[in-house]
Amino acid sequence: QVQLVESGGGLVQAGGSLRLSCAPSGRTFNTYPMGWFRQAPGKEREFVAAISRSGRSTYYADSVKGRFTISRDNARDNARNTVYLQMNSLKPEDTAVYYCAADRTVLEISRDYSSRTRYNYWGQGTQVTVSS
């Protein structure tokens, strides 16, 4: 079982930036494709971004493309499965709880990377609030 812990959320004005981090709470021996999702009050949890096991491929929801960047640092053994979400030009509609997730697949990344049912491990979430 992999436990993920998100950090870096907070309150920011529209146009500002935040950097979210997600790390496993213990040592992990496999490298997983990872994703970020978000859930606003009264809405379904939605896909934000995903990154392949090697980090060579990244994918984004249209609503965040060009503003958000997902990344990982596989070069450091103790940072395996640590991922980041750099969020720039934030908008009030980006306000949500942000969750990271890991996919236990052996593939570089699953075809349905944007589906929340694809992921096996989830963090508890971190709140991002963007004021207008």
pLDDT tens by residue, 84-125: 999 999 999 999 999 999 999 889 999 999 999 999 999 999
What pLDDT digit, counting tens, does each position of 57-74 carry? 999 999 999 999 999 987
What pLDDT digit, counting tens, does each position of 17-39 carry? 999 999 988 777 788 999 999 99
CB 60 within 8 A of CB 51: no
Q: Maximum CA pair distance of the chain? A: 43
Residue 56 corresponds to which amino acid? R
85 closest CA partner among 41, 34, 119: 34
pLDDT at position 78 is 64
Tell me the residue ranges of DSSP E strands in 76-122: 83-87, 96-102, 121-122
